[in-house]
Amino acid sequence: MKSNTHISVMKGLHIKKIPLFVKVLAGMALGVGLGFILPHSCIRILKTFNLLFSQFLKFIVPLLVIGMVTPALASIGKNAGKMLITVLSIAYISTICAGLFAYGNSTWLFPHYLTLGELEMNSTAEIFKPYFELKIPPLCDVMTALALSFMTGICLIFTKTETLKKSVIDFGEVVKLTIEKAVIPILPIYIFTMICEMTASGQIKSLMGAGVKIILTGVILSVIYLIIQYCIAGAIARKNPLKCLINMLPAYLTAFSICSSSATIPVTNRCCLRNDVSEKIAGFVIPLCSTVHMCGSTIKLAISALAVMYISGMSIDFTTFAGFVMMQGIAAVAAPGVMGGVLMASIGLMESILGLDAAQTTLVMTLYLAFDGYGPACNVTGDGAIALVTERFFGKQEKAV
């Protein structure tokens, strides 16, 4: 009896360890296969589910922002100091620059190998309608949620109201549990329904042809951005940037394989020590940056969104996209605490700022999750660059203490 229980537990653990991107790829493959053979009635059922889940996503995203960003801001105030403010500022600037870097290069590269409005030109097949629609209006939009989070989080720093702070933290745990147990497990099914419909309508050929090019663009640009980061950090810290970057390779490969910045913290910390960063600095910077420095995830998200906008025939205005990147960097502050949190925190912004509809947002999610590892890999490696700069500014002070 005990052995059977042990086997069942191990099977359960094994199932849970299947990476999200593997499930997404399986959903995409299944969607392509079944999209050619399923009758229209089945496609309409899948379309109904797709719209219901998209409504739930719109409902949960503002709550995610309030529940994750507010306690993060309140906690920052508790440990406020020069080093904290410095690390937060560098991390945010790096994240913003990553998004603008992706914008500048993508708008230059995409016209060379993607077709403007390709999805629109190929959408000549029948449009499938759901059997019914159910509206789930969000309590507020994302911008209102961000404003409320800032107001509440900053006020908690000064008022030190423990009761309200505990309530906000508890609410964040409720939202986090909902994302982890209800949203993330269903995402591959949600993407499957979208791919299945696109296959049935004849659009999938355009997406699959462009998908590999888009993902490769993201991987290459993220590596180039890391090189730039380490050239700057090396110049400030007066160290060889190439050697420092090579020392961070174990952290890059670990995050690439397990698709998690937070789970890679011990490896990232050891790599920073090899770059002569003190234990105190590394122990402070690396855990903090794992939740606030999202350069790789921002590059991946920006390229996916820009690609979908381009092949959908939408105009890509720099000012609008810069505003999206700046707000996305704020919304994603505490999102890494949730699997797929950066993407989830950005859904509402893609719709409200960039003007993407539910179908286009789903395509962005598909591209983002299809090859997930390079985003976290870039994040953690970039954390090492911030640790180098922090060591240069505060290392002597820490040794003196």
Domain boundaries along the sequence of the chain: 19-400
Interior/surface letters 221-258, b for 16+ CB within 10 angstroms, e for the rest? bbbebbeebbeebbeebebebeebbebbeebbebbbeb
Nearest to 116 by CA among 336, 334, 316, 346: 316
- Average pLDDT across the chain, whole number: 80
Output the pTM of the full model. 0.72
What pLDDT is stored for residue 103 in this prediction? 94
Is 167's pLDDT higher than 80?
yes
Alpha carbon of residue 94 to chain centroid: 15
Report whether 187 contacts 339 (CB < 8 A). no
Report the percent of the chain where pLDDT is more than 70.
80
What pLDDT is stored for residue 262 in this prediction? 67
What pLDDT is stored for residue 260 in this prediction? 67
Nearest to 63 by CA among 357, 320, 335, 328: 335
CA distance 54 to 52: 5
127 vs 214: which has the higher pLDDT = 214
Averaging pLDDT over each range in 43-57, 191-205, 295-309, which range is the top one? Answer: 295-309
What is the rounded average pLDDT of the residues 294-318?
89
47-51, 279-283, 336-340, 363-367: the lowest-pLDDT one: 336-340
What tens digit of pLDDT does each residue of 226-275 get? Answer: 999 999 999 999 999 999 999 999 989 888 866 667 667 788 888 999 99
Is 222's pLDDT higher than 80?
yes
What tens digit of pLDDT does each residue of 335-349 get? Answer: 554 556 677 778 778
Task: For residue 321, name the pLDDT band (cuts at 50, 70, 90).
Answer: very high
Is 315's pLDDT higher than 90?
no
What pLDDT is stored for residue 121 in this prediction? 47
Q: What is the DSSP letter of 337?
A: G
Q: Does domain 19-400 have CATH number 3.90.1580?
A: no
Is 109's pLDDT higher than 70?
yes
CA distance 3 to 9: 10
Is 165's pLDDT higher than 90?
no
CA distance 361 to 217: 19
Is 75's pLDDT higher than 60?
yes
Is 8's pLDDT higher than 70?
no
14 vs 104: which has the higher pLDDT = 104
User: What is the 3-state secondary structure of 373-385?
Assistant: CHHHHHHHHHHHH
What is the rounded average pLDDT of the residues 50-79?
73
Cα separations (Å) of 272 from 78, 244, 252, 374, 385? 26, 8, 12, 19, 9
388 vs 73: which has the higher pLDDT = 388
Both tokens of 151, joined, read 């107001």
What tens digit of pLDDT does each residue of 142-152 get? Answer: 668 777 877 88
Both tokens of 143, joined, read 């911008």
Both tokens of 260, joined, read 């998690």
Contact residues for 224 (Cβ-Cβ < 8 A; gap 6+): none
